[in-house]
Amino acid sequence: MNKTLRELGITPGHLKCGKNNLITDVEGVKVGHKTLDNGDIKTGVTAIIPHENNIFKNKLIAATSVINGFGKSIGLTQIDELGTLETPILLTNTLSVGVAQNALIRYMLNSNEDIGLKTGTVNPVVGECNDGVLNSIRKLSVEETDVFDALYSCDKDFLQGNVGAGTGMVCYGLKGGIGSSSRVILLDNLEYTIGTLVLSNFGSLEDLMVLGNPVGSKIKSKLKLKSSADKGSIMIIIATDIPLSADQLKRLCKRAQSGIARTGGYTGNGSGEIVIGFSTGNTIPHYSTSDIISIRTIHQDRLDMVFKAVVESTEESIINSMLCSYSTIGRDQKEIISLADYHMLLRY
């Protein structure tokens, strides 16, 4: 098993990380994968369950940030309009968004007999990146059963790298995929957690930086490669137990771009960067007997440390997504090597 940045003895940032340095350090959050890795099929599904209760009946405050909109995600407009999340979040390849949406709807209908009858419909949330470099994406290999497998396998402990939705992804010209990290901060003498999970599929090799070290240009020089355009994407999921308003969460989501930039990304024309954030610090009941409900929020002046935590965690998640991925041969015998093969270059 490839090692994360910290397991290589390199500690990024200044803030303390959570117990497992994963998005699931936020209590109640779980992650599951279904990996499809067979010859020219390099794809899959990753599911994020935001909390352990019925999320349709106990919604979470949420927000999104579209850094660059070259993407085909589903469900973002209602999150931005209402400021709530009411389903798990799915990640998959670009042409499997529809299948993932249908499966997620079935999943929600199975646990909520009132949807579409006694109450309105449901807002499924699905994000994507294009894994067509390694995956024969036209074969539409992801099926609804694969989505169910990802959802029902969700746990606090999960793999990183080329697993689930990350199986066929390419980041900075090297193997990309699923990466995660977390940070812990003190508010009113209590510990709160901010966690991120990324699906990395963006960037040009010559731009890759690891904690300020121009690793990408060193690898490019070794391999004598030509420059390439940034045509990929990244999905970033932010979870926290800090009580935040939807506006505060949107501000949080915007800061993820700084984490991307610290790894060398500049948001190219053909790159889609989309962030979805949610907080477990408040729940919004679907049914309420009261006209007024109360929610807690952090004081605006205390947000700086939360912003910093998101930037650090996003940066580390991206690097972990690459270090935890193995070199892969996919469609048309295309080979994408792993950053882990050049881990000796990570130190100056």
* 256-274 tens-digit pLDDT: 999 999 999 998 888 889 9
108-157 pLDDT per residue, tens: 999 999 999 999 999 999 999 999 999 999 999 999 999 999 999 999 99
CB count within 10 Å of CB 231 equals 18
In a domain, 292, yes or no: no
Cβ atoms 230, 125 nearer than 8 A: no
Q: How many domains would you assign to the chain? A: 1
Tell me whether residue 294 is in a domain. Answer: no
92 in a structural domain: yes
* CB environment 107-146: b (16+ within 10 A), e (fewer): bbeeebeebeeeeeebbbbbbbbbbbbbbbbeeebbebeb
Residue 36 inside a domain? The answer is yes
Q: Which helix (H) or strand (E) holds 110?
A: helix 97-111
Determine, yes or no, domain membership for 39: yes
Quote the tokens at residue 304. Answer: 């700086």
Over the stretch 23-77, which tens digit does the pLDDT of each residue have? 999 999 999 999 999 999 999 999 999 999 999 999 999 999 999 999 999 999 9
Q: pTM for the complete prediction?
A: 0.97
CATH number, domain containing residue 218: 3.60.70.12
What CA dihedral angle connects 301, 302, 304 and 306, to 10 degrees? -150
Tokens 């993820």 locate to 256
C-alpha span between 46 and 67 (Å, rounded): 22
Domain span including residue 128: 6-284+300-327
- By the 10 Å C-beta count (0-12 exposed, 13-18 middle, 19+ buried), 8 is classed as middle
Residue 307, pLDDT score: 98
Give the closest residue to 41 by CA, choosing from 136, 180, 169.
136
Q: Which amino acid is at 282?
A: N
